Amino acid sequence: MKNTTRALRRHHQKRIKNNRKYYWGGNAATSDKSQGKRSRTPCLCSCWMCGNPRKYLGARFSERRQKAE
Protein backbone atom coordinates (compact mmCIF):
# COMPACT_ATOMS: atom_id res chain seq x y z
CA MET A 1 0.00 0.00 0.00
CA LYS A 2 1.34 3.40 -0.93
CA ASN A 3 2.23 5.74 1.87
CA THR A 4 1.29 9.01 0.16
CA THR A 5 -1.09 11.53 1.50
CA ARG A 6 -3.98 13.00 -0.41
CA ALA A 7 -2.37 16.44 -0.32
CA LEU A 8 0.83 15.10 -1.89
CA ARG A 9 -1.09 13.29 -4.64
CA ARG A 10 -3.06 16.44 -5.41
CA HIS A 11 0.12 18.50 -5.43
CA HIS A 12 1.76 16.19 -7.96
CA GLN A 13 -1.39 16.06 -10.08
CA LYS A 14 -1.53 19.85 -10.23
CA ARG A 15 2.19 20.07 -10.99
CA ILE A 16 1.94 17.57 -13.86
CA LYS A 17 -1.14 19.27 -15.31
CA ASN A 18 0.70 22.58 -15.24
CA ASN A 19 3.75 21.09 -17.00
CA ARG A 20 1.69 19.40 -19.71
CA LYS A 21 -0.60 22.29 -20.60
CA TYR A 22 0.68 22.53 -24.14
CA TYR A 23 1.08 18.81 -24.98
CA TRP A 24 -0.72 17.52 -28.08
CA GLY A 25 -0.62 21.02 -29.59
CA GLY A 26 -3.17 22.30 -27.10
CA ASN A 27 -3.43 25.59 -25.36
CA ALA A 28 -3.85 26.44 -21.69
CA ALA A 29 -7.55 27.34 -22.08
CA THR A 30 -8.73 23.81 -22.91
CA SER A 31 -11.32 21.90 -20.91
CA ASP A 32 -10.56 20.17 -17.63
CA LYS A 33 -11.33 16.80 -19.18
CA SER A 34 -8.74 17.13 -21.93
CA GLN A 35 -6.21 18.53 -19.47
CA GLY A 36 -6.73 15.45 -17.30
CA LYS A 37 -6.19 13.17 -20.29
CA ARG A 38 -2.96 14.95 -21.14
CA SER A 39 -1.71 14.58 -17.57
CA ARG A 40 -2.30 10.80 -17.51
CA THR A 41 -1.30 9.97 -21.09
CA PRO A 42 1.45 12.30 -22.30
CA CYS A 43 1.94 10.38 -25.54
CA LEU A 44 -0.93 10.87 -27.96
CA CYS A 45 -0.64 7.53 -29.71
CA SER A 46 1.27 4.26 -29.71
CA CYS A 47 2.43 4.21 -33.32
CA TRP A 48 5.85 2.91 -34.33
CA MET A 49 7.44 6.31 -33.65
CA CYS A 50 5.88 6.85 -30.21
CA GLY A 51 5.43 3.32 -28.87
CA ASN A 52 7.78 0.68 -27.57
CA PRO A 53 10.50 0.07 -30.20
CA ARG A 54 10.73 -3.63 -29.35
CA LYS A 55 7.14 -4.15 -30.41
CA TYR A 56 7.71 -2.77 -33.90
CA LEU A 57 11.44 -3.12 -34.61
CA GLY A 58 12.24 -6.29 -32.68
CA ALA A 59 14.99 -6.88 -30.16
CA ARG A 60 18.03 -4.65 -30.11
CA PHE A 61 21.30 -5.88 -31.55
CA SER A 62 22.89 -6.20 -28.11
CA GLU A 63 19.96 -8.33 -26.90
CA ARG A 64 20.23 -10.60 -29.94
CA ARG A 65 23.98 -10.93 -29.38
CA GLN A 66 23.51 -11.86 -25.70
CA LYS A 67 20.91 -14.43 -26.64
CA ALA A 68 23.27 -16.00 -29.19
CA GLU A 69 26.08 -16.38 -26.63
Q: Decide: 21 and 28 in contact? Cβ < 8 Å.
A: yes
Query: How sure is the predictor about 1, in pLDDT bands with cuts at 50, 70 and 90?
Result: low
Structure confidence at residue 33 (pLDDT)? 83
Tens of pLDDT, residues 22-49? 887 777 667 888 888 888 887 778 788 8
Distance CA 66, CA 53 (A): 18
pTM, whole model, 2 decimals?
0.56
Residue 38: how many other CB atoms lie within 10 Å: 20
